[in-house]
Structure formats: structure tokens, C-alpha cells
Amino acid sequence: MATGKGGDVILSMSGQADAHRIIRKAYWGIIPFLFLTTTFTYIDRSNVAFASLQFKSDLHLSAEEYGLGAGIFYIGYAVFQIPSNMAIMRVGAPTWLGLLIFCWGVVSACTSTMKTKQQYYAVRFLLGVFEAGCFPGSWWHLQLFFTSLEVGFAYAAVASSTALSNIIGAPIAAGILFMDGVGGLRGWQWLFILEGSITALYGILLKFVLAEKPATAYFLKPEERSWLANRQDALQANFNSKHSRQGRWWASVPDWKIWYLSLCYAILQFGITAVVYFNPFIVEALFFGGQFQGKAPKLHFATPHDQAWHTAKVALFSTVLWVPVAAGMIYISWSAKHYQERNWHSCIPSLLAGVCFLVVPETIKHSAAGGYVLIIIAATGVWAPHGPMWSWPKTFLHGEGAAVGIAIFNSIGAIGGFCGPYVVGALVDRGGYVKCMQVLGGLFLILGVAIALYRPKNLEAEDMPADANTAAAETDAQRPDSVELAKTTNTAESQAKNV
């Protein structure tokens, strides 16, 4: 730091050290809160997988009916994507996300009162309605602070909660399910009540701790806020000067790129939801008296305590899958940002997942443990493309166009999210998990090829100002508390690469 003409502060960019520090501080100021947001999202969305180990018999649900209810969540989720993203643009992330989190926490807690499959379907639909704004809203908020490559890594760090929430959620679920009978309630009822109530309280807290935009980021010094705000404004202005149409709210609707990516993401979500909602049942089938091939037998327990112990063991063992999934997801996203490459970082894990799924049925015949190791590798490949894929829309859409585009992207993905558990449940009822593995294997081979063929121009990179820092400095020079950026030939994307 130094003092320039007139007493203004100069943020020296030589060596990029100051820029890196600001971006790093922005990561730590934003990502932890959005990470917690998505963690609560996934815990409240997927705790049904653990609760169903008990309530399937209480509500007399078949695997197909359970899968349909799990999937109905994504109908409400898809329908309310665009309205939710339009709302967050108007009121800001702290207010809107806080409200949504509070509402879905209440709905999750009310799931404890369901007594019929119709009520099960209804509460899952409502949960989807309120969770619809979480992931696209988090993405929208991140892109206010970061460039496309920075967003890819930041979003992957946020979205890694989809895996880590199961690491956290499984042992918690196991412990709560052991409360079966306490206060006259079933363990699965306590699971929804306790986790939903905690989520609702966090929704109230988020309103006050999440920074709304770079210019009001309390975790940065005034000169750092100015630099970050001006960098983002300069990039946005430069993009709009050459591609103003891409910033209009309707720009994404006729754009083939968002639809192509959306179909790829639908396949990804098919695999993600299939693994999330049926991993405990696969574990049960392989290691705890179930059946992997053929219709699963109905398990009987001598006492409620025996059933509670059984469900707790299954929930705990299910955690094994999520550690490598989370690690792989974060590493691939970091590598994609570091090497500034998306295609192969998404393609290769998808192809690996497809091959592993196809080999699982034959491996299971010789070793249940070996088959589950392949499922873990496949699941890691399923989650790995998440970060790179979510960074793509920002390369060709900005402003309102980005908000609508990402809502389309996530809505189409939600269709895959609906189909995943429903199709798997139907296949399980008709012959076990072998056909499920074959369907998943085929879909992810198709996904790998589709991603390899996707090679559009990166408009953000092409139209980055030759000196993004100078552009920001020129914009900022008009302010008395400006942060004047020393002229440099380094672009904002090259800064992002080395953060």
C-alpha cells in the first residue's frame, strides 16, 4: 500500500499479491456462509434417505413410491427457479436466502407430522418450492464478487457441501434415529423436527451476516471494497459494451449453449440424486441383510431397539462414500481453475463414473466390498464435474441474462433430479440394483462424450479488458476514497488462476 497524488490510496498490483489477498479475503467472507446454507439445504433435502429406513414401513411405501416422493421435491424446485432468481436480484441475497432458509426449515420440521403417502408427496413438493432459490441464488451472489474461473472454484467449495453434508448428516441422523420412542415419537420424526428447527434459526441469522455486495463487504477494508467493486464493475461494463444483448433477462432463452449445458446437468443430477437417495439402501443390500440383485426382502426385527440399531449402523456406514466424493469434487474444481480448463476436468470423471457403474454388477458377484468401492469411485466421478459445469454460464451470460440462464440451467437439472430417484425406485421394485447400475453407466458415458464436444467461445475471457486493473482504476479515480490500481498487463483472470 502507498499514498498517491492528492492523498489517495494506491493498491500496488506488482506481483499481484494485494489482489490475491483481497480475493482470498472475499472467499473467506462469503463462502463459509453459503457453504452452511447449502449444507442445511442438502441435510433437509436428503435426510429423507435416512428417515425412510424407518418411515417406509410406517407409511407402507414401496421403493417406487418412496422414490417418487423423493423426486417430487424437484418438481417444486424446477417450477420456482426463475421466480426465485428474479426475486433475489430485487431484494438481495441476505434477505431472500434468509427468508427461504427459514421457510424450508419450518416445512422440514412439519414433515414429522406426515401419516400418508399423499402427505409425503405434498411436503416434499413444498420443500422443493422453498429450496428452489438456494443453489442458483448462491451462484448469483458469488458472481457479484468473482470472475468466471473464480466462481467455478468458489461455487465448488460451496457445492462440496452436497457431499460433506452427508458426512455430517449421517452420524447425526444415526444418533437421532436412536431416539425412537422418546416422547412418544418415532426416530424419523425427531430427525425432521430437530434438523428443520436448526435450519430455521440459521435462516434468521444469515440475514445479518451475509454481505450483500462488494461495496458493502464488511470483511474488507474500505480501499479493498472499492477495488473489488470497481474490478467487477469494469468487467461488467466491458462485457456489456460488446455483448449488451447477453445481459438482458431474455438473452438466455434462445441461447443453445444454456440448453446444451442444462441437458448435461440433468444427467449429472440424475446420477447425484440416485446416489443420494439410494446409497443407504445399497449399503443395506450389500452388507446388512438386503439383496442387490432381485427384489429386496422385507427385514423383520424382534424389537424397536433392534430396528433403531440397524438403521443407525446403515446410516453410519453410508458415510464412507462421501469422504472421497467431497475430496474429489474440491480437487477437480481447484485444478480446473488452476489450469483454466473445463472440458476434460468434466469429461474424464464422467467417463470414469460410467465405466465403474457398468462394472459394478459383475464385481458384486465376487466381492460386495469390491463392488461398493467401484460405486464410491463412480460417485466421485459423478460429483467432480459440478464446479466446472457451474462456472460455464458466466462465460457467456451476465446481469439479468445470467440470473435467468442459471435458473433455466438448474430447472432442467431438476428434471434429472426428479427422474433419478423415481427411475431407480421403479427399477429396484422390478429387479434390484443391477439395471440401475447399467442405466447410470450408459448415461454417464453419454455425458462424458457430450461434455468433450462442448467447445463454445469464452466471451468473458475474450472481452476482458487488456488491462482490467487500469479500467477499474479509471472508474475509481473519480471517488475521493479511491483505490487506484497501478497499471499492469495482468488480466483479472490471470489473477484468479493464482489465488
Give tens-digit pLDDT for 456-485.
Answer: 766 555 444 444 444 333 333 333 333 333
CB atoms within 10 A of CB 252: 25
Q: Each residue of 207-236: pLDDT tens digit?
A: 999 999 999 999 999 999 999 999 888 877
Whether 213 contacts 94, CB under 8 Å? no
Tell me the average pLDDT across 71-95. Answer: 87
| Sequence letter at residue 156 | A
Q: Each residue of 185-201: pLDDT tens digit?
A: 999 999 999 999 999 99
pLDDT computed for residue 253 by the predictor: 74
Domains of the chain: 21-467 (1.20.1250.20)
User: What is the C-alpha separation between 131 and 300, in angstroms, rounded?
Assistant: 36
pLDDT level of residue 488 (50, 70, 90 thresholds): very low
- Please list the residues that pair with 474 across neighbouring strands: none
Examine the pLDDT at 267 and tell me if it is beyond 70. yes
pLDDT computed for residue 487 by the predictor: 36
Whether 240 contacts 398, CB under 8 Å? yes
User: What is the C-alpha separation between 470 and 461, in angstroms, rounded?
Assistant: 16
Whether 459 contacts 395, CB under 8 Å? yes
Task: With H, G, I as helix, E, B as strand and everything else as coil, classify residue 431.
Answer: coil
The pTM assigned to this predicted structure is 0.71
Whether 269 contacts 414, CB under 8 Å? yes
Residues near 191 by Cβ (< 8 Å), separated by ≥ 6? 47, 50, 51, 112, 173, 176, 177
CB atoms within 10 A of CB 243: 18
Whether 335 contacts 324, CB under 8 Å? no
pLDDT level of residue 165 (50, 70, 90 thresholds): confident
Q: How many CA atoms lie within 13 A of 382 on its CB side?
A: 31
User: What is the C-alpha separation between 229 and 199, in angstroms, rounded?
Assistant: 31
Distances in Å between the alpha carbon of 451 and those of 123, 154, 325, 413? 35, 21, 20, 15
Terminal-residue alpha carbon distance, the chain: 19
Counting residues of the chain whose pLDDT is more than 70, the rounded percentage is 81
Tell me the average pLDDT across 448-454. Answer: 94
347 φ/ψ angles, rounded to the nearest 5 degrees:
-70, -50
Grid cell digits, residue 9: 490510496
CB atoms within 10 A of CB 196: 23
Examine the pLDDT at 496 and tell me if it is beyond 80. no
Task: With H, G, I as helix, E, B as strand and everything else as coil, classify residue 171.
Answer: helix
User: What is the C-alpha separation between 117 and 125, in angstroms, rounded?
Assistant: 12
Closest CA to 100 of 139, 75, 129: 129
Examine the pLDDT at 492 and tell me if it is beyond 50. no
Mean pLDDT of the chain: 81
pLDDT computed for residue 494 by the predictor: 42
- Name the least confident of 262-266, 311-315, 422-426: 311-315
User: What is the C-alpha separation between 321 and 379, in angstroms, rounded?
Assistant: 8
Give me the helix-helix angle, 117-131 and 17-58, nearest 10°: 170
User: What is the C-alpha separation between 223 and 218, in angstroms, rounded?
Assistant: 12
Closest CA to 281 of 48, 53, 46: 53
Counting residues of the chain whose pLDDT is more than 90, the rounded percentage is 35
Examine the pLDDT at 8 and tell me if it is beyond 70. no
pLDDT computed for residue 243 by the predictor: 52
pLDDT level of residue 380 (50, 70, 90 thresholds): very high
Whether 179 contacts 187, CB under 8 Å? yes
